[in-house]
């Protein structure tokens, strides 16, 4: 099970990866970063992507179907708590930003952010790999 540094290392090994971060979407703080930042400052990027993640996780427009499908009872002991959104993909002219929420047994507010080059990256592969890493990530 990878920790933050190992997780970032694995993300950066993806074809076309330009930058990566693990961000707390409640505070907007980067827990770890690797590679480049789209605007040259990892902390500013973390704050900006956290706003997007927070909106997707909290606004009923994105979570309504998931809330309707889930019974109103509290989750069971082994069930993961987390936002009903799995990931977000923002497409720009030169790249993709993939935000993958990390679900944990505690009230998680963490996501993985990958900045992927549009010409050399593989969006489908990156999305699957981020899913696998999010499931294995150990936050200590």
How far lies 12's CA from each of 18, 53, 113, 115, in Å?
7, 21, 11, 9
> CA–CA separation, 101 vs 108, rounded Å?
9
Checking if the pLDDT of 125 tops 50, the result is yes
Q: Which residues are paired to 88 by β-bridges?
A: 99
pTM to 2 decimal places: 0.84
Lowest mean pLDDT among 53-67, 94-108, 115-129: 53-67
Q: Sketch the domain layout of the chain as residue ranges.
A: 16-136
> CA–CA separation, 67 vs 60, rounded Å?
9
16-136 belongs to which CATH class? alpha beta
Pairing mode of beta strands 110-117, 95-102: antiparallel
Q: What is the mean pLDDT of the chain?
A: 86
Asked if 36 and 116 count as a contact pair (C-beta separation under 8 A), the reply is no
Q: What is the pLDDT of residues 24-70, one digit of tens each?
A: 999 999 999 999 999 999 999 999 999 999 999 888 888 665 544 44
Asked if 105 and 80 count as a contact pair (C-beta separation under 8 A), the reply is yes
> CA–CA separation, 110 vs 106, rounded Å?
11
């Amino acid at each position: 099970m990878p920790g933050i540094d190992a997780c970032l290392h694995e993300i950066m090994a993806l074809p076309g990866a330009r930058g990566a971060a693990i961000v707390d979407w409640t505070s907007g703080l980067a827990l770890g970063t690797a590679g480049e930042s789209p605007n040259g400052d990892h902390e500013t990027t973390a704050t900006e992507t956290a706003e997007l993640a927070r909106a997707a996780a909290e606004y009923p427009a994105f979570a309504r179907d998931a809330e309707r499908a889930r019974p109103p009872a509290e989750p069971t002991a082994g069930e993961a708590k987390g936002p009903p959104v799995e990931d977000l993909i923002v497409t720009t002219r030169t790249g993709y930003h993939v935000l993958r929420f990390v679900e944990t047994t505690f009230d998680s507010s963490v996501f993985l952010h990958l900045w992927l080059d549009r010409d050399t990256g593989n969006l489908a592969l990156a999305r699957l790999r981020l899913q696998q890493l999010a499931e294995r990530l150990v936050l200590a």
